[in-house]
Each structure stands twice: as structure tokens, then as C-alpha cells.
Structure 1
Amino acid sequence: MVLSQEQHLGRYGEAFVTAIAESAGLTVRNTSAADFYLVDLEIGYPGPRGSMLTPKLQIQVKCTQKADVTETLVKHGIKARYYDKLVNPCHAFGNPIFLVVVVAPQNVGEWADVSKERLILKEAAYWTCLHGKPSSDLAAESKKTVIWQRDKEHLLRRESLLTMFDHAERMQRSEEGVFEL
């Protein structure tokens, strides 16, 4: 059985994020099979960080070949029904949920470059958190999408994953439970 294009993109996005997290020495649990909780991956820090004993990040992964990437911004659409859930304060979920958009090359054959010395996964992933952003008021129209944009400096890297743990702790401790840079 061959995966559909949507499934193939989704799996590639999850593998892309997993590779970055694993290279940072973090643990990864794939939760996308259930797909009930807006969370595809749970990334754990194996030990204490900040005031948390075993912190975890919850990640919603979207993978696309159609993001609008400029020199400074990344723009991508997300279904309004998902967007309007993710803008709720993190306290509504128990843990903050971060959105990671993986931009994949148009040609599937270019997604990975493998040799005996290296594995290169092509293009990039960008992260954001929508907790506290304004609602789209489009959730009832399930086919509508909301365009979000993020500075390209939010490139997902080993270091930015560690920063995300710090943001998650601040959101959990704040009364509002919203994301602020």
C-alpha cells in the first residue's frame, strides 16, 4: 500500500522534527496515530530543566510544499478549526502546544540526500505558538484556512527546541497561559 500525498507529507514532517529533537539528545514520542489532541509529537527533556523535573513539549506538525517563504517571513495556511483551538490559552490543554511547519521540496526525490557519511533532510522547519492569538471566527466553516506568519528566525534547530522548553514553562506559570516573545 502506498501512502497518499498528505500522509507522505505528514510522515516526512514528523521524521524531520524527530531527527532534530533526537540530535539534541531529547526524547520523542509519536502520538499522531490517535490524532485526537492536536498533538503529533511529544518531545521530552530527559531530566530537570528550569523548575520542571521532566518537561515535555507538545508539537502539532504540519508539512507543506506550498509555504510562502520570503527572505524574512514564512507564511502558511492552517485550517480554521485547528487554528481556533490552538489560540486558546495553554491551560485549556494542560500543556502548551507548539506549531511546527516543515517546508519540503516540491520534488519528493529531493527530500533526503543519503550517503555513508551523512543524511541530509531537505528544506526547513519553523516553529511558533498560537496560544493567545486572536480567534479567526471561521471555525464553523471547516474548509476555511487562516494564514499565519512567523519570522524566519524561528527556524527549528537544536537550540530553538531548548528555548521552546523555556517558553512552555513561562506559559504554564503565567495566569494568562499565552505565548509571548
Structure 2
Amino acid sequence: MMTRQDRQEVLSLAYVHAVAAMCGMTHSARAKDHGIDLTLHEIVRDRGRFTESGMALELQLKSTTSVAETKTDIGYDLSIRAYDILRAEIGQVRLLVVFVLPASENEWLRQTRAKLELRKCAYWVSLRGRSAVKNRSSVRIPIPKRQIFTPDAIRAIIERKKRGEELT
């Protein structure tokens, strides 16, 4: 049997895969994790064929049942290694995606004949260009609650990237 943490990780992948599918994007996982778990690839129609556009989002996925929550943000404690990887100013868009599950494992997934419900919610944030920190082990990342990882959000991120806009 998988550990609780392993189940959380697999459910976070399922969440991201479902959102990517609704965007019409493909995904690829890394053979070895060096700080990026998954890449989403935009698919476009070119001369009657579907192909990758070259536009991609690199994701570091995290899942948790515990966040520091305020009225406007969730706070996630991210390792300094992951923070430094995600804040690097590189060509691709890199996002931290945090999937927040209910505390009780019995509430993570609900299924009826009408629907499959994966609970609760995933949020995204770009750390690009953030300053180095003096912390040695982790840094708390505030993620605006309005930044829910949805198909519309992913489409908007791609469009902003195409226009050369920075994500905040």
C-alpha cells in the first residue's frame, strides 16, 4: 500500500492532468526530478494538424492537508532548494502548484454515478525573479486564493506569456 504522502502526490497529478486535458494541453513527466515535476505543452492546429506550439509551463507540484490560511492567501512552506529553482529567471514559465486536500483522507475523493469529485483545490504562483532569502530550510510562500489552478487560469497564463507579460 502506498503511503499517505504518496497518495496525496498521485491525486495532485490527477488534478493537474484533468485541468490540462480541459485546456487541450498535453503533459510530460520528468524521468528524474531535478525540481520540476511536470511540463504542460500547448497544442495548436497548424495546416490541418495538431502539434505542440513550443509554449510550455513547467510545474513543481506539492500537496498538503495543512496550509496557513488568511482571508486572501494560503501560505505554503517551500524548501529553499525548490524556492531557488522556481525563482530562477529562465525562458520557460515555472509555477508552483499547491494542491490542498481536506485533513481527513476519507474526504479526498467522492464518487457517485453522476460525478467524480477530487477535493479540495489547487492554487498556483510564479516565483520568478523573487529575491534570495537567508532561511536555510524553508520559506513560507503566500499564494493568493484567487489564483486557483483552473483551465481558464492556465489559458490566461499562456496568453500573458505570449504577450511577454510577467506573472505575479
- Range of TM-score over shorter length: 0.7 to 0.9
Q: Distance in 1 between matches of 2:154 and 2:14?
A: 15
Q: CA deviation at 1:158?
A: 0.9
Find the partner of 1:131 among 118, 128, 131.
128
- CA RMSD, Structure 1 to Structure 2 (Å): 2.0
Partner of 2:96: 99
Q: Distance in 1 between matches of 2:154 and 2:98?
A: 14
Partner of 1:88: 88
Q: CA deviation at 1:90?
A: 2.0
Give runs of aligned pairs for residues 53-68 of structure 1, distance below 5 A. Answer: 53-68=53-68
Go from structure 1 to structure 2 and tell me whether the alpha carbon gap of 1:40 and 1:168 turns closer, same or farther (over 3 Å shift).
farther
Q: Which amino acid aligns with 2:139?
A: V
Find the partner of 1:115 among 112, 128, 135.
112
Q: Which amino acid aligns with 2:76?
A: H
TM score, norm. by length of structure 2: 0.86
Q: Distance in 2 between matches of 1:68 and 1:100?
A: 16
Q: Distance in 2 between matches of 1:46 and 1:30?
A: 17
CA contact (8 A) 2:157 2:167 kept: no
CA contact (8 A) 2:56 2:93 kept: no
Q: Distance in 1 between matches of 2:14 and 2:134?
A: 32
Asked if residue 3 in structure 1 is aligned to residue 2 in structure 2, the reply is yes
- Per-residue Cα deviation, 1:82-140 (whole angstroms, up to 9, x for no partner): 1122111124xxx22111111011111211111121111111011011010111133xx
Structure 2: 5+ residue stretches without partners? 46-51
Q: CA deviation at 1:168?
A: 3.5
CA contact (8 A) 2:101 2:120 kept: yes
| Superposition misfits of 4+ residues, deviation over 6 angstroms | none
Find the partner of 1:39 among 36, 40, 43.
36
CA contact (8 A) 1:84 1:136 kept: no
Partner of 1:12: 11
SS at match of 1:99: strand
Q: Distance in 1 between matches of 2:98 and 2:18?
A: 15
Structure 1: 5+ residue stretches without partners? none
SS at match of 1:54: strand
Q: Which amino acid aligns with 1:11?
A: V
Partner of 2:48: none
TM score, norm. by length of structure 1: 0.80
SS at match of 1:47: strand
Asked if residue 157 in structure 1 is aligned to residue 156 in structure 2, the reply is no
